[in-house]
Amino acid sequence: DVKVTQSSRYLVKRTGEKVFLECVQDMDHENMFWYRQDPGLGLRLIYFSYDVKMKEKGDIPEGYSVSREKKERFSLILESASTNQTSMYLCAIHTAEDSNQPQHFGDGTRLSIL
């Protein structure tokens, strides 16, 4: 089974802090994604990565950056956290070259910025 591990289920940080959300996969998959999930808005793509050190902006990248130094780890960084970044964050991976293979998700990190 595909395993996608997010480092924290719940996280509370203060405004202005630099926040790191970690996502680790247990295989050699190339494509990894960070989404944020908000009620009434569904999932929106923040950033994705298709290989080590390769990244592309998604639909809502403002206020975020990412890092992928090793294939198995994809980090989402909030450079200076703000209250409007309070949300659920989901990491996902795409497991195969074939498009019809689904994305697999981690458990999510519920982040509160105070």
The contact set with another protein (CB under 8 A) reads 31, 33, 35, 40-45, 48, 50, 56, 58, 88, 90, 92, 94, 99-100, 102-103, 105-108
Nearer of residues 35 and 64 to another protein, judged by Cβ: 35
Q: By C-alpha distance, which of 62, 63, 74 is closest to 103?
A: 74
Tokens 């970690």 found at: 22
Nearer of residues 35 and 78 to another protein, judged by Cβ: 35
Minimum distance from residue 16 beta carbon to another protein (Å)? 28
Nearer of residues 51 and 79 to another protein, judged by Cβ: 51
**Which residues on adjacent β-strands are paired with residue 45?**
35
Minimum distance from residue 22 beta carbon to another protein (Å)? 17
Contact 107, 9 (CB under 8 A): yes
Q: Is 11 exposed, middle or buried (0-12, 13-18, 19+ CB in 10 A)?
A: middle
Minimum distance from residue 88 beta carbon to another protein (Å)? 8
Q: Distance of alpha carbon 55 from its chain centroid, rounded?
A: 12
Phi, psi of 65 (to 5 degrees): -140, 170
Nearer of residues 27 and 41 to another protein, judged by Cβ: 41
